Every structure is written in structure tokens, then in C-alpha cells.
Structure 1
Amino acid sequence: MIFDELRPKIQKLIQEQHISVTDRLHQICVLLKEEVAHYDWVGFYFKNGDKKELKLKTYVGAPTDHEIIPFGKGICGQVAESNQNFVVPDVQAQDNYIACSISVKSEIVIPLFKNGENIGQIDIDSNQKDPFTEADERFLEFVNKEAAKML
């Protein structure tokens, strides 16, 4: 399975301490988008200081206007408040969805914790309906756990 092959590559990227944190996060985004067929947009959002909003740190995929997302708005904003994974099989069926692109059909957002605090998240859009499985959730939880080690 592709996720088993990607785990050591993620760990290796995390350990590259001569590369900035932002660049390592970006390399993770690139790796995931290139290697996982149903990952069409991959980005990391983080809490923006003391504000009740998320700020986009890095991403790969189509350009987005959503660099700042208030807590509670869209899928990312809801995850910032709920501290729970959020898988959206069909974005058109979701009331509180912020459209990034007309080609996006589904989304998965996994919170990133550091010392028990939700400090950010990985956000992935897919141009396919309902491609995300429990394996995606477990893998992305692993990615965030590894990413937290360098934050």
C-alpha cells in the first residue's frame, strides 16, 4: 500500500533539520500530492497567533484565495473548533463548505496537535467523490504526529 511506502519518506523529511520547517512542510505537501492519486490539493493551516483564525502556511495544488479561515467557517474552521477529523465525501452536500475550486468534489481535514493542543491541520482536496478511507485518516494522523515533532 502506498501509505506504508510513504511513512519512512515522511520521517526522513521531518529529520532534515538543515531545511526550514516551512520548506519541510511544503516538501510533505509535494510528496503527498505526487504520490497519492486522489490528493489534488494538499496544504497545512495553522492557528494565527491568538486570533480565532487559521492561516495557510504552505500548499501545493490550484491557487486559493482562502489564506485566512475564521474558526467555525468551512471544514477547516470547524476542525479548528471540534478537534476532530472531518471527512467530506461530497462537498456539495455540505452546508458549511468554503469552495476553493469547482473541480473539488471531496475533502479531508485532520487536526495537528502539539502537547495536546490543536495548533493546525492538514487539508486535502480531491477532484473525486468519496475517495477517502479510514486508511487515509490513519496515515494523515501519522503525518501530523511526525510534523508536530519539528514544530
Structure 2
Amino acid sequence: MFNVEMYKGTKEENYQFVIKQLTALIEDETNTIANLANASALLNQFLENINWVGFYITEGEQLVLGPFQGLPACVRIPFGKGVCGTSAQNKETLRVADVHLFPGHIACDAASASEIVVPMIKNDKVIGVLDIDSPIKDRFDEIDQEFLEKFVEVLVSYIKEV
């Protein structure tokens, strides 16, 4: 069902297809951790030129490592620190073309060159973030941002609590 060969359309069509796959994976499952795990695995096999994809879950005023695909990562990130903490604090997506130029960047993987972080917002509260790193500078564009925000919106709609 999740064969990479299925992604043969435009970038937008491929993203729409992966969002449909996400819905099929999570619509009948109520466990948040299981759904986040499948969502990170789905994005890992869908996205090219990435070296880490996963979730950080809000715990108080910090983010705690959740399900992910990639090398071991930082476990706790305070709100306002690094790309993930800044995204969570400001409740906005951050697309960073060169992480080495981002003030206070937290380097969990030295190979990461660019990053996109999408906050997961439910009832006006940040419940976590989707974090994706790439070893290529300026990997993420407006289309990635638009559709990753839609991906997170669908995912959050199925999350009851964290």
C-alpha cells in the first residue's frame, strides 16, 4: 500500500496522496503515540533528501522527544530555544534554509543543514511540533510548508490528547 513508486505525480499531487495515506493509517486508531509513529514513518519514506523526521510533544514549557525516524536526538527542548522551541513558542511554522545561521540552533545531528518545523496546535494550544531535517541547504520550499501544515492539521484532528 505504501510503495514509493506510487509518488509519480506533481509535488502537490504526491503530498495530497501522502495525506490520504496518513488518514487511512490513523482514522481508526486512537493511540496518539502509534499515530505519531506511523506518521513519522510515512513521511520518512515519502520525503527525499531528509535525515530526520519526527515529533516533539509538549510537556509544560518544553518539548520532549516523541516518535521519530533517524539518528538519536535531543530529548528536551525548552520553548523559545532552537528552531523547534521557537516554532512552538511563536505558534508558527519555521522554514530554515541554513540551520547554522539560525541563532541558538540546537545541533542534534551535525549533518543537518536545513530544517522545517510545523507546530501542532489543538484548541489554540501547542501540543507538539513536527520537525524535519535535511543534509541539504534550502531543502524545504513553500509547497513543502503548505502541505506539511495540511499534514499536521489532519494528524492533529485525530489526536484526542497527548
TM-score, with normalisation over the residues of structure 2?
Answer: 0.85
Structure 2 letter corresponding to 1:78: T
Q: How far apart, CA to CA, are the structure 1 residues paired with 2:77 and 2:67? A: 14
The residue number in structure 2 matching 1:113 is: 121
Q: How far apart, CA to CA, are the structure 2 residues paired with 1:146 and 1:5? A: 13
The residue number in structure 2 matching 1:52 is: 61
The residue number in structure 2 matching 1:22 is: 33
Which among 122, 131, 136 is matched to residue 123 of structure 1? 131
Query: SS of the counterpart of 2:54?
Result: strand
Which among 8, 16, 25 is matched to residue 4 of structure 1? 16
Structural mapping, 1:60-79, within 5 Å:
60-64=69-73, 66-79=74-87
Q: How far apart, CA to CA, are the structure 1 residues paired with 2:20 and 2:46? A: 13
Structure 1 letter corresponding to 2:134: S
Task: Give unmatched runs, 5+ long, in structure 2.
Answer: 1-10
Q: Percent identity?
A: 34
The residue number in structure 2 matching 1:38 is: 49
Q: How far apart, CA to CA, are the structure 2 residues paired with 1:139 and 1:39? A: 16
Over 6 Å off, 4+ runs:
none
Query: SS of the counterpart of 1:108?
Result: strand
Q: How far apart, CA to CA, are the structure 1 residues paired with 2:109 and 2:37? A: 20
The Cα of 1:47 is off from its aligned counterpart by 1.0
The residue number in structure 2 matching 1:136 is: 144
TM-score, with normalisation over the residues of structure 1?
Answer: 0.91
The residue number in structure 2 matching 1:97 is: 105
Q: Deviations over 1:44-81 (max 9, x none)?
A: 11210xx21111121111111x1111111111111111
